Structure 1
């Protein structure tokens, strides 16, 4: 067809359309609508997303896969939940875990089947161990091939069941709303935990039941202690000679830090916290003893040696082995928490109060005030020893830097409400013991599963939970390299995080323990990349500390910068490790 013939044909078609319009005029209100996409029939994946919205979910961390494409498409159609693409499923899980820790709401992470789901097991187990509410969503292959050996098929229910409170696979559209509600309800029980919901690909694409709607969230009912429990606790405390309070992370979950302080002040009782409980009792307070949890007999253990009663509040034995504070099992213990503690030969409780912690402390304070119970001042050098050690190297300009100087400069560079996430390794021992903490959830440490590599992705989750306020992740060089790919995620999201890497070119804590065990170490040393170039390759800012006086200003500048991801590599002299354990092994407090 020539160009002239083509134009002639178009003219004839246009004339015919005009003629038809003249003979069959259309009412004005029926003007031709704009072209629209075909109407989408709601499927199971859409219904799941509706359930997530009903549960208050605002963000999901994860990686798309072939089998969860229907779910990703449903998220995009709905548009009310933000999906954060991560660089590894493990990173997604730690982001969700830390987001949950800071918000109190269940974190949600997503993986596809097989390898993707297996990569989620570590953060899921970590959430379960640390009593953090988390819901993992995993895809699965079609139901028709689950009964046989098939590509990427793993029995995910069997995999996740031992590391969650509850795991279930959705096998019919009718089960969606009940399964989703149950998954979130069990994650938020009185002992928060992880749950896992598995969705086969073919079920995801099936039509949702026409009448199916998300189930309403149940109101959280807080159990109050009985008058008999309060009277019994008050009697035990009044008859004690040297009581001491041990506070765990349950205090922060219950927002009971104020009542904890009132109880301590009213009775004039010393308070020690677990690593995970740091901040629930301000280290500025005269009654603060610091933390228990170090691998040797530390300063605060002397206060437990003299105690005849331990008032354990928000404590669970996964946070700390009770044998170190009750080696002879000769102390009375009052256990105050929302759940019954597991059995331990050195944690045989005299009284268990399973109720809301804040309500329990409020009523206990009133009961003890009526009895006019108060204890004499504690004669102890513990606070002085802690302060002396914290400041012992503040003017030490030796390089690589002493751990005490690193902790001191880090604390001075951060405000009271700034959040520091502390990874596992030798640095955890120094930060947990010496880093003064003044508010709950401002120094977060995993001492339940004690996972390496969680703080870098955790800082991304914390940044979103804190709406962009700066977050510090403190890591060893071993843990940093385990999840450093999430720097790209942080840069892409526009997070403001500072990553302080303690550099010693070894798995420092294992080296320390080998030296304690056998006097030498093996197979713990490694090399490192150029941390500055590595950071810059991701679009982050990299800094290498080359003198002791550079660290404090570098952290402060990064925390107060106008956003961005900052990696600060600081060489550390861990010869102080053995000096510390030698000193504590010989330490005796004056009587």
Structure 2
């Protein structure tokens, strides 16, 4: 099988504009969609796109374009592409790009720039955008010579999509875009990741075979490129329970008896108590930014087997006993094969049955308020109804706020990448534009964004984008009139909080003003029907849900008293 894509030879031997060659290179990379907001410095590139099959999705704010590319890249595994002009256009991209980079999403960002003849001096909107982008990207490069376009684009896409995925930034100055050159795109090929070192695999297997109470912790990398399939097979072969981080949701199906759901909320939660009892942890595709090891390895008493595409990060609470580096799916297959060879008579190594009382305890907690009729609606009840409504592979995106913690704990995922949570950079304003990116990536699936009333208003403007492209995304707004997560954390630490309340618009009227359907719930029983009606709309829909955030402090108090059935 040939892994290289055929190169478009339409430009062979012909003199064309550099901007046209740039577009041909994008086409060679398989780019189908660009999310962006252009300026005059992107003019030649935009005109070149008119003759391309690449769709340009015009947005209302550059930050939203970056979030769209973030989620599009995360769902497809191919680099999402966003575009902005120079100066304020580039600075507006920064938060979305930083989010994508720390959440390990493949993204290529294209930014405009003024003429190279004025970059050495004070001039209109001139700033060193590449220097600004370097700390939040894997690679950032300005195109100074037009004939370097094929190399720079190939490198940007290769690095963005290589493990661990992240952001690459390309700057195209307006005068360079006009140059007349002869060139062709470089061939695109797939890089095969290496297998893990045999001795490291042997170390990992020996630890698992000799441990008395080992567990598995799955991070965001466990969802990529067949890894979840191999993870499930290994869990069943060893008899080990699997915990996941917020971003590792969906590594196992909800019904799998090995699935002990999510850790990451508070140190005394059920999962954390179970992790505290473990003597060895097989950690798969985990980034320390997701959930610091100080919260699950506070005593530094566990043997840690690190399985990832890259070596383990240096952290005193994450001193690994086996650093198994390679393609995750391949590595898990190697571990499985070695278990078959050396320990077949003992398989499964452990009895998953001993974990079922804890699993049942957690599952019962998920449904603890499913019959509650109180109003405003309790977070647990909202998420129960949402989980009952959405299909296994429908997509839920969580914005950042108190609702993210509730989703992390109370919303179980069925399949990989069916729950999108930003828990690396954790930027508010992620979910609405992210839902647009998700709908372009997976138009056949229902897409629900859950936002707080604060986070929703941070990228409200791109509701118009969803209306214009007639995207049936549903945005659920949890309404409490406050920065609830900050209030919750201040209350936990100090017993009081700084005033963080604000007022809100009439969300139904707001939806109407954008030309879409909207509903504000007035009773708990309206939610299932509202979801059904919202997803029947031809375009986007809003559901405003008054939420009882008195449950935040109650949850904190209750979690301090939890006793896990171990």
The verdict on a shared fold, with TM-score over 0.5 as the criterion, is yes
Instruction: Find the aligned partners of 2:312 and 2:115 in 1 and give their Cα distance.
Output: 40
Any conservation in 2 of the 1:283–1:436 contact (CA below 8 Å)?
yes
Which of 250-259 and 105-114 deviates more? Answer: 250-259
Following superposition, the deviation at residue 217 of structure 1 comes to 1.2
Cα deviation digits, residues 309-347 of structure 1 (max 9, x gap) = 000011111111011110011101011111123211111
Instruction: Find the aligned partners of 2:400 and 2:221 in 1 and give their Cα distance.
Output: 21
Give the match's secondary structure for 2:151: helix
Q: Select the structure of larger CA radius of gyration.
A: 1
Following superposition, the deviation at residue 387 of structure 1 comes to 2.0
Indicate the residue corresponding to 1:65 in structure 2: 39
Instruction: Find the aligned partners of 2:366 and 2:162 in 1 and give their Cα distance.
Output: 39
Cα deviation digits, residues 490-534 of structure 1 (max 9, x gap) = 011111101011000011100100111111111311000010011
Instruction: Find the aligned partners of 1:575 and 1:480 in 2 and give their Cα distance.
Output: 21
Instruction: Find the aligned partners of 1:236 and 1:469 in 2 and give their Cα distance.
Output: 41
Indicate the residue corresponding to 2:111 in structure 1: 138
Any conservation in 1 of the 2:31–2:54 contact (CA below 8 Å)?
yes
Indicate the residue corresponding to 2:298 in structure 1: 327
Indicate the residue corresponding to 1:497 in structure 2: 473
Q: Structure 2 length as normaliser, TM-score?
A: 0.95
Following superposition, the deviation at residue 222 of structure 1 comes to 2.1
Q: Does 1:55 align with 2:29?
A: yes
Indicate the residue corresponding to 1:369 in structure 2: 340
Q: Does 1:394 align with 2:370?
A: yes
Q: Does 1:347 align with 2:308?
A: no
Indicate the residue corresponding to 1:159 in structure 2: 132
Following superposition, the deviation at residue 298 of structure 1 comes to 1.2
Q: How does 1:325-474 map to 2 (within 5 A)?
A: 325-370=296-341, 371=343, 372-373=346-347, 374-376=349-351, 377-379=353-355, 381-474=357-450
Q: How does 1:281-320 map to 2 (within 5 A)?
A: 281-320=252-291
Instruction: Find the aligned partners of 2:381 and 2:461 in 1 and give their Cα distance.
Output: 29
Any conservation in 2 of the 1:456–1:499 contact (CA below 8 Å)?
yes
Instruction: Find the aligned partners of 2:396 and 2:56 in 1 and give their Cα distance.
Output: 25
Q: Structure 1 length as normaliser, TM-score?
A: 0.91
Higher relative contact order (CA 8 A, sep 6+): 2
Instruction: Find the aligned partners of 1:517 and 1:430 in 2 and give their Cα distance.
Output: 19
Indicate the residue corresponding to 1:117 in structure 2: 90
Instruction: Find the aligned partners of 1:363 and 1:255 in 2 and give their Cα distance.
Output: 14
Sort the Cα spacing of 1:296 and 1:238 in 2 relative to 1 into closer, same or farther, 3 A.
closer
Indicate the residue corresponding to 1:213 in structure 2: 184
Q: Does 1:570 align with 2:541?
A: no
Indicate the residue corresponding to 1:584 in structure 2: 559
Unpaired runs of 5+ residues, structure 1, are 1-39
Which of 258-267 and 539-548 deviates more? Answer: 258-267
Q: Does 1:192 align with 2:168?
A: no
Instruction: Find the aligned partners of 1:565 and 1:468 in 2 and give their Cα distance.
Output: 15
Unpaired runs of 5+ residues, structure 2, are 1-13
Any conservation in 2 of the 1:413–1:553 contact (CA below 8 Å)?
no
